Amino acid sequence: MKNRGHTAVFAGAALFVFLLVFSEEFKRGFTFGLESCAEIVIPSLFPFLIAASLAGSGELPNKIKRFISVITEFFFGLPSECFFAIILGQLGGYLSGAKAAQSLCSAGKISENQSEKLMLFCINPGIGFTVNALGSIMLSSRGSGRIIFTSVCISAFLCGLISRFYSCKTESYKKVKIIPPSFSCAVVNSVSSGTLSLLNACAFVCIFSGIISVIESHIANESMRLGLICLLEITNGCIYAAKEMSLPFISAICAFGGLCVHMQIFSVAESFKIKLPLFYAFRLLHALLAFLTCSIILWMFPAEQQVLVNVTPKPALWSFSAPASFSLLFLSALLILDLDNKYKI
């Protein structure tokens, strides 16, 4: 515990010095992170975070659960309660699977080990990011975005099959019988929980965008700069990779996710422990399988790939509706305060 405290102190001091030395570059990148959140992260992620929380608070009829359990047990060795977490993890974006697993674990529907197992393969970029943002905007081709999305989904499914043979430690676990909340309360709680998770994700994106701006300004080697950017943050990484890399490499980058996404997942999945060596082994496996899958798809169905794409690195400031966005944030803050007061009462 003392070592952890020492690490936090030194990390905070190092960050403080870093911000003093590179304040201008960090500020520029931080602003770009805010713009990326408004145009890419919030529209593609927020609805799925709400869906993840809502699915975790409900209960399926027994007949449907028996049918679904045959699929989830056979392919992934997981109970039927994990079905929506698996679907959201493939379609909804990086945080959706983690959020669904956290909701299920907190509600006592699955164990901590089962939640950890979900995190081995339920981390995908999501259809909104890959097709709309990456495909249409960055690659100027929705078809390329669909190929990347198909590749990461197939590779995630293969990772799930492999995780079937990973036996979780036996734990004394009994399902907790919790009375589900009313539908109106479930919706309000899901919106509130999704808002907090989204604000957390946007904060990480802004911080990492600031760090990437410093890297862009002070690292001259293009290969090293591109590698560091792809390792740190997926949105910036895809913007630069779209101009210089092939679709299989971009698929691998999307499958890995980047350290910014990983930290968001760790912060959301705080109710259960994630073994880092196992987690990163599956992240690398996911990236390798995505690269191979995309290469096979392109070999079977040759498609034109635009190598040099005219991508503007920074979206136009306030190209979205600023009043609407500020109103949404203000109303979300009021909602959180109102819920907090109700719980205190």
Tens digits of residue pLDDT in 250-291: 999 999 998 999 988 888 777 677 888 999 999 999 999 999
Best CA proximity match to 286, nearest among 297, 278, 275, 274: 278
Q: What is the pLDDT of residue 221?
A: 84
Rounded distance between C-alpha atoms, residue 53 and residue 47, angstroms: 10
Domain boundaries, the chain: 23-163+180-344
Measured CA distances, 269 to 22, 95, 97, 189, 265 (Å): 32, 9, 10, 17, 6
Higher-confidence residue: 26 or 326?
26
Distance of CA 61 to the CA centre of its chain: 29
- Percent of the chain predicted with pLDDT > 70: 79
Record the tokens describing residue 19, joined without a space: 């911000």
In 3D space, the residue among 132, 122, 1 whose CA is nearest the CA of residue 56 turns out to be 122
What pLDDT is stored for residue 291 in this prediction? 95
The residue ranking higher by pLDDT, 107 or 71, is 71
Q: Tell me the pLDDT of the chain averaged across its residues.
A: 79
More confident site: 184 or 156: 156
Query: Taking 60 as the threshold, does the pLDDT of residue 312 lie above it?
Result: no
pLDDT of residue 324: 47
pLDDT at 314 over 80: no
Specify the pLDDT at position 81. Answer: 85
**Is 50 exceeded by the pLDDT of residue 313?**
no
Taking the alpha carbons of 100, 103, 104, 106 in that order, is the dihedral positive or negative?
positive
- Contacts with 261 (C-beta within 8 Å, 6 or more apart), sequence order: 94, 95, 123, 233, 234
User: pLDDT tens digit string along 185-240?
Assistant: 777 777 887 788 888 888 888 999 999 989 888 888 888 888 899 899 888 888 88
pTM, two decimal places = 0.78
Confidence of residue 4 (pLDDT cuts 50, 70, 90): low
Give residue 344's pLDDT: 47
- Report residue 57's pLDDT band, with 50, 70 and 90 as the boundaries: low
Whether the CB-CB separation of 233 and 208 falls below 8 Å is answered with: yes
